Amino acid sequence: MCIKLKAECMLTCNLLSLLSCHMLFCLGNNMLILFTCLKYYLFFFSPKNYDGLVVRSATKVTAEVISAGSNLKIIGRAGTGVDNVDVEADVFIIFMNYSFNTPSGNTISAAELTCALLMSLSRHIPQAVISMKDGKWDRKKFMGAELYGKVLGIVGLGRIGKEVATRMQSFGMKTIGYDPITPPEVSASWGVEQMSLEELWPQCDYITVHTPLMPSTTGLLNDTSFAKCKKGVKVVNCARGGIIDEAALLRALESGQCGGAGLDVFVEEPPKDRALVNHPNVISCPHLGASTKEAQARCGKEIALQIVDMATGKALVGAVNAQVLVSSFSPDSHQWILLGESMGRVLKACTASKEPFSQVHVTSLGESLKKSTGFLSSAAVVGLLTEGPQKGPNLVNALPLAAETGITVQTDHKDNECEACVLEVSVNSRSYKAVGSVQAGVPVLLELNGSVFRQPVPLTGHLLFFKAANSTELLLSVTGVLAAAGVELQSYSASTAGSGEQWYCMGISSLLGDIGALKSLVKEAAQLTV
């Protein structure tokens, strides 16, 4: 048993050797993780086959991708920015995936590339290289300027901003900066004096941005802020395309307000509009900040360890619903989760009223299920909220989703001798109840709305439930309807004869095309596939 890996694209393969050694030996689960940095991996792989997805920045993990991944439990971002993962698409998605990233793994690499771009801008190195390859010897054209004594403005004083600052200080640059969160005394301890952006713009010879891309940082450098800068200011963007407004930058380059730009990132990658890339004062890279052997090895190792930790129940402090998710990886819990979900589906199908549930009560019975009440209730709510066979709520988002739709979920535990799960729901002040257990590794239904089944009902395959008055003809009539519809009876269980009506459950070869055919024979009927 192991985590199986599928890698897409050569760039991710170098992660793989590290990842595989961690994953293959650490886990007792059978998970399939897809590593991809292909933008359109969906066209090649069906995400529903995977338990996990590990991406770099090029793969856009959209709401569509996430909802197509019905088995998806984890999205790992082997890198810093998570702007390519749509974690806030809607409530079905917010809690669905336990999303990791490896923020410090590529800090040094991104910082070094930033410094390289700053140096290249000051001495026109890339342009000089091209000119030499053209057979020229143009010493005048590439007159540069020292970095020594110049002022570097760093917008965003997080991990990368700090590393850039300390490196550029060794060139004798004065480093000033702005960050709404990093305290000024902290940045001062590594040599960066903080000030407002209004104060910062006019002082800088060079500006480098190191913030995430967010609404508040989109277009941080725009026409207005460029106008406040020193004429000829040089800028570097190794963070995300759009933090420096691309149209404003082009205008500033053309007017000479901006003397040069070093760009590793673009709003559109690769950029279709090549005006910036082709500008003589722009030097650019195809998003290479994290593309070093060391950064990829670190990010690969970190994401692998994070996934292993998650799957083995460690390092989950502060994660929403993490315990539920962890339990879903444990083979022991798996059948109980299936039970909870199946019971939810049975009660939903067998509830005569189609009104929404207002209250759900889940009780775990038996010492060994003491710690299972949480995931049993999530699983039961998944079953209760699932509409048809299509993908709906899942273990992680079920409880928040129930709360949002006004359903109160209560849980309880009782140290009975037997192990069982009791699910009760209220609809319009009527309550419905199911009791189930796992017997010989199979989820079974023991009781439905007060009727105790003589034989536990295995909750697998196609099931037909009906409630009817106890009579000798009933079974013959029902099997007649099944036979007429070409449906085979595979198993049968009746509840103990109470007074009057009883619940029956039949395992059938396929669902009836028209359950209404039973109308004249039974009081209530429902069919479902679990």
Ligand X SMILES: O=C(O)C(=O)COP(=O)(O)O
Ligand Y SMILES: NC(=O)C1=CN([C@@H]2O[C@H](COP(=O)(O)OP(=O)(O)OC[C@H]3O[C@@H](n4cnc5c(N)ncnc54)[C@H](O)[C@@H]3O)[C@@H](O)[C@H]2O)C=CC1
- Binding-site ranges for ligand X (CB under 6 A): 56-58, 79-81, 106, 289-291
345 part of the active site:
no
Q: Alpha-carbon distance 82 to 72, whole Å?
A: 17
Q: Is 239 in the site for ligand Y (CB under 6 A)?
A: yes
Q: Angle, to 10 degrees, between the axis of helix 322-329 and the axis of helix 293-311? A: 90
Q: How far is the CB of 330 from ligand Y (least distance, A)?
A: 33
What is the torsion angle, in degrees rounded to the nearest 10, for the CA atoms of residue 31, residue 34, residue 35 and residue 41?
A: -170
Q: Alpha-carbon distance 111 to 118, whole Å?
A: 11
- Pick from 463, 421, 414: which is nearest to 438 by CA? 421
Strand partners, 514: none
Q: Is 81 in the site for ligand Y (CB under 6 A)?
A: yes
Q: Is 211 in the site for ligand Y (CB under 6 A)?
A: yes
**Residue 56 interacts with which of ligand X, ligand Y, none, CB < 5 to 8 Å by class:** ligand X
Nearer to ligand X, 213 or 423 (CB): 213
Q: How far is the CB of 80 from ligand X (least distance, A)?
A: 3
The 10 Å Cβ neighbour count of residue 496 is 11
Nearer to ligand X, 102 or 364 (CB): 102
The 3-state secondary structure of 247-297, one letter per residue: HHHHHHHHHCCEEEEEECCCCCCCCCCCHHHHCCCEEECCCCCCCCHHHHH
Active-site annotation holder among 287, 345, 361, 462:
287
Nearer to ligand X, 26 or 58 (CB): 58
Active-site annotation holder among 210, 240, 298, 361:
240
Q: In angstroms, how far is CA 435 from the centroid of its own chain?
A: 33
Q: Is 115 in the site for ligand Y (CB under 6 A)?
A: no
Nearer to ligand Y, 234 or 240 (CB): 240
Q: How far is the CB of 291 from ligand X (least distance, A)?
A: 6
Length of the chain: 530
Q: Is 110 in the site for ligand Y (CB under 6 A)?
A: yes
Among 15, 61, 238, 324, binds ligand Y (CB under 6 A): 238
**Residue 238 interacts with which of ligand X, ligand Y, none, CB < 5 to 8 Å by class:** ligand Y
The shares of helix, strand and coil residues in the chain, as percent rounded to the nearest 5, are 35, 25, 40
- Choose the stretch contacting ligand Y; rule: CB under 6 A; options: 104-112, 134-142, 404-412, 503-511: 104-112
Q: How many helices (H) and strands (E) does the chain have?
A: 17, 22
- Choose the stretch contacting ligand Y; rule: CB under 6 A; options: 236-244, 301-309, 314-322, 372-380: 236-244
Q: Is 265 in the site for ligand Y (CB under 6 A)?
A: yes
Q: How far is the CA of 356 from the CAs of 30, 335, 360, 395, in angstroms?
A: 36, 27, 11, 20
User: Residues binding ligand Y: what is the number (CB under 6 A)?
Assistant: 31
Q: Is 289 in the site for ligand Y (CB under 6 A)?
A: yes
Q: How far is the CA of 292 from the CAs of 37, 237, 302, in angstroms?
A: 15, 18, 15
240 part of the active site:
yes
**Residue 158 interacts with which of ligand Y, ligand X, none, CB < 5 to 8 Å by class:** ligand Y
Contacts 24+ apart (CB under 8 A), 398-406: 399/321, 400/91, 400/94, 400/95, 400/320, 400/321, 401/91, 401/92, 401/95, 402/360, 404/91, 405/356, 406/356, 406/358
**Max Cα–Cα distance, the chain, nearest Å:** 106
387 part of the active site:
no
Q: Alpha-carbon distance 484 to 195, whole Å?
A: 82
Q: Is 52 in the site for ligand Y (CB under 6 A)?
A: no
**Residue 217 interacts with which of ligand X, ligand Y, none, CB < 5 to 8 Å by class:** ligand Y
Q: Is 103 in the site for ligand Y (CB under 6 A)?
A: yes
Q: Is 189 in the site for ligand Y (CB under 6 A)?
A: no
Active-site annotation holder among 8, 269, 419, 524:
269
**Residue 159 interacts with which of ligand X, ligand Y, none, CB < 5 to 8 Å by class:** ligand Y
Nearer to ligand X, 52 or 289 (CB): 289
Q: Alpha-carbon distance 434 to 482, whole Å?
A: 26
Q: Alpha-carbon distance 329 to 57, whole Å?
A: 27
Q: Which residues bind ligand Y (CB under 6 A)?
A: 80-81, 103, 106-107, 110, 155-161, 178-182, 210-212, 216-217, 238-240, 264-265, 287, 289-290
Q: Which residues are catalytic?
A: 240, 269, 287
